[in-house]
Copies of this chain bind each other. A is one copy, B any other.
Amino acid sequence: MNQTSGSLSGTGAPGRPIGRRPGPSSTRADILEAARQLFAEVGFERATIRAIASRAGVDPALVHRRFGNKAQLLDAALRLPFNQAEVASELDASAGDEGRALLSMALQRWEDPASALQAKSILRVSMSNERAAAAVRDLFTREVLAMLAGRVPREDAELRAALVASQMVGLAIARFVIPVKAIAEADRDRLVDAVAPTIQRYLTGDV
């Protein structure tokens, strides 16, 4: 399922899901979006492949053929909307200020409605099913660690990555999952100024 990584972000303009070409790719994107919707609405158990296929307007057999079983579809649907290579190059370009770069990228991506849907579906699934929660958490941890590889001191890389994730997840929740006015309505730059030092300290500072 590696080829799905970054499928929400493509390689180009931030904040828009690109790379949706007509034909097979568009079907793939439709299935993933339907999966995110259903997972967000009813959790893991109750989101059947049949219901997801129906929402996407395709045959259930096609969903199985493309994505395998429901756990594999979940995995594909919940990947972080980041292109690892793109993130790496942004971070390389802002050494010493990676916290700001990471946060700016995230806040920009989050303006895409697909991100809000994905965040809701990640949380909803994590609430409803322990095994799905474990899968989400492992995927998330792996992706964040991969993103930060070589940028944080090796001996406490896991704690640093988890701290970064804890602030980013809390911010995402307040920004668009359970919107808290002061954060949901704040200018992006205002939030970056307020939170970047936190991320930077977790990455490279004294923890």
Which residues of A approach B to under 8 Å, CB–CB? Answer: 40, 120, 123-124, 126-128, 133, 136-137, 140-141, 158-159, 161-163, 165-171, 173-174, 177-183, 186, 193-195, 197-198, 201-202, 207
CB of B201 within 8 A of CB of A197, answer: yes
CB of A162 within 8 A of CB of B180, answer: yes
Give Cα A137 to B175, complex, Å. 12
Give Cα A163 to B35, complex, Å. 31
CB distance from A162 to the nearest CB of B (A): 4
Nearest B residue to A134, CB-CB: B178
Known: A166-B174, A167-B166, A171-B170. A182 touches B198 (CB 8 A): no
CB of A167 within 8 A of CB of B198, answer: yes
Copies in the complex: 2
Give Cα A165 to B202, complex, Å. 18
Nearest B residue to A190, CB-CB: B159
Candidates B40, B123, B127, B170; contact of A168 at CB < 8 Å: B170
CB of B177 within 8 A of CB of A159, answer: no
Q: Report 18 cross-chain contacts, Cβ distance below 8 Å, ordered by A residue.
A: A123-B123, A123-B127, A124-B127, A126-B178, A137-B180, A140-B180, A141-B181, A159-B183, A162-B181, A162-B182, A163-B195, A165-B174, A166-B167, A166-B171, A170-B171, A170-B173, A197-B201, A198-B198
